[in-house]
Amino acid sequence: MSRKPFVRPVSKTGWWLKHPRYMRYMSREVTCVFIGAFALLMLCTVERLSKGQAAYDSFIAALQGPLSIFGMLLVLIFALHNATSWFNVTPKALPVQIGEEFLAGKYIIGAHYAVWIVASLVVLFFAGVL
């Protein structure tokens, strides 16, 4: 047995910069920061809502502006990335077996995208946007 085994040096903090696949993995993982921030924004919205109309209206007014637009766009990009990366692995997470065969992944992914579109349209309709 070797007394000096070779240990490949791997950076604990920068390993994911070494390969595009690792970067794609990390880009998927960091979506959680934006989902979490958005959850806290919704929590603040509910808190302001419980404090009455004046508190709520000033909160909504404070959310307006170019910096806020930039922030929301950033959150939107990561929310979309979470959605697409989540749906694209559904054939692995929820394989559907019919007899001996497995249902092709594209149908499982497609069904999720279809439900996603319908759900988004329902929310937009309910919110008075459509």
Partner 1 sequence: MAKSNKPIFWSLFAAGGTLAAFLAPVLVLLFLMVAMGHTPSLLSYANLHAFAANWLGKLFLLGVITLFLWHAAHRLRVTLHDFGLRQDPVVAVVVYLVAAAGTGLSVLYLLRI
26 binds partner 1 (CB under 8 A): yes
Give the SS3 label for residue 122. helix
30 binds partner 1 (CB under 8 A): yes
35 binds partner 1 (CB under 8 A): yes
| Longest pairwise C-alpha distance within the chain | 75
User: What's the gap between Cα 101 and its chain centre?
Assistant: 31
Instruction: By CB under 8 A, name the one of 56, 96, 105, 111 that touches partner 1.
Output: 56
Instruction: By CB under 8 A, name the one of 17, 18, 24, 42 that touches partner 1.
Output: 42
Alpha-carbon span 130 to 127, nearest angstrom: 8
H/E element holding 15? none
109 binds partner 1 (CB under 8 A): no
Q: Would you say 25 or 102 has its CB closer to partner 1? A: 25
